[in-house]
Copies of this chain bind each other. A is one copy, B any other.
């Protein structure tokens, strides 16, 4: 964590000899001070055909140009390397739309982190399918949109959500225990931009009422999973997971209560990784440069 401004360059490409040298050479030739850098080569089970992942933080004022020019100058190298890449500026705050239902734990947790500038983001609005938290959200100076989702109005509601997200120029949607399923085309329109917190240690207990499922099976730990939303329910790339110990004396209600603590912690960590461009997705799996 730096008070100073920096650019984050991240991406992946087919592995070959010399990638670090070429990318770091490009930065060094321009005087760029690399504050942090991480690399990973994934060769699966073989030795060839691997994929290379990287993330670098470069001190902004060590470079003689700004982001736009960085992009122009870096593009030819990225093309030679067939790299999927992006660069972001730590001084430009991400715009995160939070979606909730009637449970408060994730909402309070996110707003506390936002209030303390631990999450240094803009929250252009909160969207909810219940009106419960309107004044709480508005107390924070954040607009609140109540978009009820009823069977007969589901399509209209989802269209309205998409419209709001576009209108506020959101980068990321966080489903902070938003209990509705987003339609496939919505998920496909924003790949790697919608983050969900699921209240089980996936792949155990997919779908509804995971704590009831856990109770029935008699497991000794319960968990939560933060993942990108894809059209396949609870099957998207996993960003972060954690568990907590339970025992025979815990009822389903107790599990729900413990689970909330894990849910908000896992969501906060996963969201942070996402916001800091620490997550690189490949083939339904994630590389997380912590």
Measuring CB to CB, which residues of chain A are less than 8 angstroms from any residue of chain B? Answer: 1, 4, 17-18, 20-22, 24-25, 27-29, 31-42, 45, 47, 53, 62, 103-105, 107-109, 111-113, 115-116, 118, 135-136, 139, 201-205, 217-221, 223, 237-238, 240-243, 247-249, 251-254, 257, 260-261, 265, 268, 284-288, 290
Bound-state CA distance A14–B36 (Å) is 15
What is the oligomeric copy number? 4
Closest to A251 in B: B1
Contact of A27 among B1, B21, B62, B260 (CB under 8 A): B21
Closest to A34 in B: B20
The answer to whether A240 touches B220, judged by C-beta atoms less than 8 angstroms apart, is: yes
The answer to whether B35 touches A37, judged by C-beta atoms less than 8 angstroms apart, is: no
The answer to whether A36 touches B41, judged by C-beta atoms less than 8 angstroms apart, is: yes
The answer to whether A241 touches B219, judged by C-beta atoms less than 8 angstroms apart, is: yes
| Known interface pairs A22-B28, A247-B288; A108-B104 also in contact (CB < 8 Å) | no
| Residues of chain B contacted by A113 (CB below 8 angstroms) | 105
| Residues of chain B contacted by A107 (CB below 8 angstroms) | 112
The answer to whether A288 touches B203, judged by C-beta atoms less than 8 angstroms apart, is: no
| Residues of chain B contacted by A45 (CB below 8 angstroms) | 251-252
| Residues of chain B contacted by A108 (CB below 8 angstroms) | 108-109, 111-112, 115
The interface centre, meaning the residue of A111, A220, A237 with most chain B CB atoms within 10 A of its CB, is: A220
The answer to whether A40 touches B257, judged by C-beta atoms less than 8 angstroms apart, is: no
24 residue pairs from A and B, CB less than 8 Å apart: A4-B47, A17-B31, A17-B62, A18-B28, A20-B28, A20-B34, A21-B25, A24-B24, A38-B39, A104-B112, A108-B115, A116-B260, A118-B260, A135-B139, A136-B139, A202-B217, A203-B204, A204-B204, A218-B237, A218-B238, A218-B285, A219-B241, A221-B241, A248-B287
